[in-house]
A and B are shown apart, each in its own frame.
Chain A
Amino acid sequence: MQKTEAHFFNGLTAGRHEVHVALSDDRQAMIITGDTLPEPLRWSLMDLRALHDTSHKDRLTLTRHADTGDEAPRDPARLVLHDPELIAWMHRTRPGLFRTDLHKGTWRKVFLYSGGALVAAGLMLFVILPAMANTLALIIPVEREIAFGKVVVSQMERVLGRTEKKSLSCENLAGRAALTTMLTRLTENQEMEYQISAQVFDHGMVNAFAAPGGQVVILRGLLDNAQGPDEVAGVLAHEIGHVESRDATRHALRTAGSAGLLSMLIGDFTGGTAIALVGEHLMTAAYTRDAEAAADLFALDMLQAANVDAAGFARFFDEMDGLKGIEIPAYLSTHPVTAERAEQARGFAQSQSGTRPILNDAEWQALRNICR
């Protein structure tokens, strides 16, 4: 290594020092000399580091590995080499030149902070927000819940294809009367917290949903697909179960809290939103499984009290199982169909006695024709 010119910044003032660098006699260090330096500096080759990811082709900026209070363990002084031969020599002989060094204890900090963040996010998502949602869902005034429910139902109607001219709600008088009969049979002699109002939407999908505040919507496809009124009654009782335990309200509150949080955790990188959506869906699924099981039990009790055969409810699950894979968009698929649920209903039906049909044939036909 020849003696060569370079620029030196001492890390104390912004002045530039014109210096010469040369290899020390023991070949272990770089000696920096200059008229403006009070004394020659000795930089050990072992400690030398260079700035990486720069756009520089004609220069190499050197610094030293040193235990300073800086963001990285680096000496604030800088030595800028311009000599191509010297730069090439540095690249050739110093393999650790571009190494990243960390302050002591950095990894411990990373693990500690990551753990803390995971625990905090987990606590929020799985403990605090659900608990808050439960509390708030219980104290919300019923009339507000009903108003909210109406907004939800009208949004749902739009999603399912309502146009300006035509509402999806089916208004056939005899059909509505049959639906009311069914509802009355199920809810009479029950202590209900909500005034249930059921309606049918003219849509081919086999599904039903409960909105906050007592609104239950059955889609026409479910009526078309059902073999008897008991089947519809089972689904209706299940949805009433959701209403009574305020599942929809709770779910909406919980989503409001966790949605922003999840997208924040995933951050702004390509495809992040998609992953946040998947995460949200997984959480919802885990949460709805419990709610579904509770609503099933509620429905079975309700059917028992109304002397309705639960075999119809079991048959509904069987049929849904057969339909699986056909159009059930993810946002509506809140009713995971499992053989266990069918089994549970069937087992319950076997213990029942003295059941009678919930609607007579004429009423059942009227209900099936509610959208005509």
Chain B
Amino acid sequence: MSTTQDSMDIRYTGEKGPLFNLAFKTGLLTVVTLGIYRFWQKTRIRKYIWSSVDAGGDTFEYTGTGIEKLLGFLIAVVFLAIYIGIIQMVLFYAGLSVMVDPQRASPQEMIAQTIALYITFFAVLPFILYAVYRARRYKMARTRWRGIRFGMEKGAWGFVWRAMGYGFLAVITLGILTPLQTFRLEKYQADRSYYGSARFTQTGKWTELYPAMKHMLIGIGILVLSFALIGGGAVSENVGLIGFGGFAAFVGYVWVIIGGIHYGVQSFAYLTANKVLGDDIHFTAAPRTGFVIKTYIVGGLLVGLLASVAFGIVGTIAAAFIPLLQNGGGMIAFGIVMAVGYVVALVLTQALSLILITQPILAHYIEKLEIVNADGLNRIAQREAETGVDAEGFADALDIGGAI
């Protein structure tokens, strides 16, 4: 219970049952209120999860409110309604203006047309990135531990330009510069983060993320090799070679996916282990890729199984109504039963994936964290309250922000 020891363990104490009940109940409320309750749903689930994180005997607290999320959403909607509506139409018009007859067009014209049609995505991209930063900032500002607020400085637009620039670099180098992108963007955000009066600093070097990328690179290597095999097989009309190439492509594909998860887990570990709070508070992080993949697979199978049982029950109940379909009233009852059953089964699936996938993985990350030189925490002072007007409205309106 005391913090006299130099290092402090972090535990996760959340359980499946209570979180499932909360997620299922609030999920139904969200449907019944045509989506308005989702702001409170998110708030209540976060309160549960935050309160389950226990550092040295003291638990975290989430202080966000549903009403500020609703207000933030309304603000974002007004802004985005105008922007998205007009931009989408202008870009669609631009797309039309370069629209060409597909049968007679030159390749250049076809490319111009494709670009014009896909540019809509890039028109929204800055706001998606803006929303990503704002959502993280909002979560920080609404997190407290021992009564002291976390916080993050303003800087969403700086993040937007950097994210686009590093993203572009990562894409044109076929992913080779992904570690640069990961590191610099995390550093940008971490260096603007605070716990109370103490600032976080991201130390380390971006090149040190390459070991974490090892399996992704191996997978890409296998893919390249398999394409060469298939190509060679096609030229020499060797069916065996094509078959082997196809098998290698499958292996490479799976390897890239697992390598991607490995990179996600291990880059988080590296970046966390190289964060410093204040002058000398450090962290250790040792999440295991194997656990995360296992949870994805086992949890995913369980969710799939239970969800198909739920949907099966809905189907069976609906089938029982079919004899009643002779009259109009039966038709309406059938429709209502189907719709209600479908929605309940969907909400159930979401709640299940929260307790069987999201929570275990989160718990694993947290349990594998440790604070070093925790004594320094006692000297940290409170920071000003942050009453950001838009909360995470942009993230909500643009439909990003992940599971919790």
Report which A residues bind B (CB closer than 8 A).
Answer: 7, 9-16, 51-56, 59, 61, 68-72, 74, 76-78, 80, 100, 102, 106, 109-110, 113-114, 116-117, 120-121, 124-125, 128-129, 132-133, 136, 140-141, 144-148, 150-151, 154, 249, 252-254, 256-261, 264-272, 275
Contacts and interface: CB of A to CB of B under 8 A. Distances in A.
12 contacts: A11-B382, A13-B381, A14-B377, A72-B65, A129-B89, A145-B96, A147-B101, A257-B85, A265-B77, A267-B73, A268-B396, A271-B346
Contacts of B47: 51-54
Contact of B100 (A129, A147, A254): A147
Given A140-B96, A269-B38, A71 B387 contact: yes
A10 B381 CA distance: 10
A71 B82 contact: no
Given A14-B377, A55-B18, A144-B96, A257 B81 contact: no
A253 B385 contact: no
A11 B81 contact: no
B101 A13 contact: no
Closest 10 CB pairs of A and B: A9-B147, A256-B92, A54-B51, A257-B89, A53-B47, A269-B35, A113-B74, A117-B74, A14-B380, A55-B52
B70 interface: yes
A342 to B, nearest CB: 26
B137 interface: no
Nearest to B344: A270
Contact of A132 (B15, B31, B75, B89): B89
Given A71-B63, A260-B88, 20 more contacts: A10-B147, A11-B382, A13-B380, A14-B148, A15-B379, A54-B51, A71-B65, A117-B75, A120-B82, A121-B78, A136-B93, A144-B98, A256-B89, A257-B92, A261-B81, A264-B81, A268-B38, A270-B31, A271-B343, A271-B346
Contacts of A121: 77-78, 81
A38 to B, nearest CB: 16
A125 B399 CA distance: 20
B30 interface: yes
B125 interface: no
B196 A14 contact: yes
Contact of A154 (B99, B102, B399): B102
Interface in B83-114: 84-86, 88-89, 91-93, 96-103
B34 interface: yes
B96 to A, nearest CB: 5
Interface in B28-82: 30-31, 34-35, 38, 43-44, 47-49, 51-52, 58-59, 61, 63-65, 67-68, 70-71, 73-75, 77-78, 80-82
A277 to B, nearest CB: 14
B142 interface: yes
Contacts of B223: none
A264 to B, nearest CB: 5
Contacts of B102: 150-151, 154
Most chain B C-beta atoms within 10 Å of own C-beta, residue among A53, A69, A275? A53
Contacts, number: 213
Contacts of B52: 55
A77 B96 CA distance: 60
B265 to A, nearest CB: 25
Contacts of B196: 13-14
A267 B42 CA distance: 13
A50 to B, nearest CB: 12
Contacts of A13: 148, 196, 378-382
A235 B38 CA distance: 48
Nearest to A136: B93
Given A51-B61, A56-B51, A70-B385, A147 B14 contact: no
A56 B48 CA distance: 9
Contacts of A74: 63
A269 B42 CA distance: 11
B211 to A, nearest CB: 35
B58 A71 contact: no
Given A117-B77, A124-B82, A264-B397, A51 B31 contact: no
A291 to B, nearest CB: 18
B131 to A, nearest CB: 12
Contact of A71 (B77, B88, B142, B347): B142
Given A15-B378, A71-B387, A266-B35, A261 B85 contact: yes
A141 B99 CA distance: 10
A275 B34 contact: yes
Contacts of B92: 252-253, 256-257
A157 to B, nearest CB: 13
Contacts of B378: 13-16
Contacts of B154: none
B219 interface: no
B85 A129 contact: yes
Contact of B81 (A54, A120, A254): A120
Nearest to B34: A275
A77 B148 CA distance: 9
Contacts of B27: 270
B396 A267 contact: yes
A77 B98 CA distance: 62
A145 B145 CA distance: 61
A72 B385 CA distance: 11
B13 interface: yes
Contact of A141 (B59, B97, B146, B385): B97
Contacts of B101: 146-147, 150
A207 to B, nearest CB: 24
A9 B377 CA distance: 13
Contacts of A265: 77, 81
Contacts of A269: 30-31, 35, 38
B216 to A, nearest CB: 29
A253 to B, nearest CB: 6
Most chain B C-beta atoms within 10 Å of own C-beta, residue among A145, A150, A256? A256
A109 B74 CA distance: 11
Contacts of A56: 51, 59
Contacts of A52: 47
Contact of B31 (A14, A54, A259, A271): A271
Nearest to A70: B385
Given A113-B71, A264-B84, A77 B77 contact: no
B58 A16 contact: yes
B398 interface: yes
B30 A9 contact: no
Given A151-B102, A264-B77, A68 B385 contact: yes
B22 interface: yes
A53 B22 contact: yes
Contacts of A106: 67
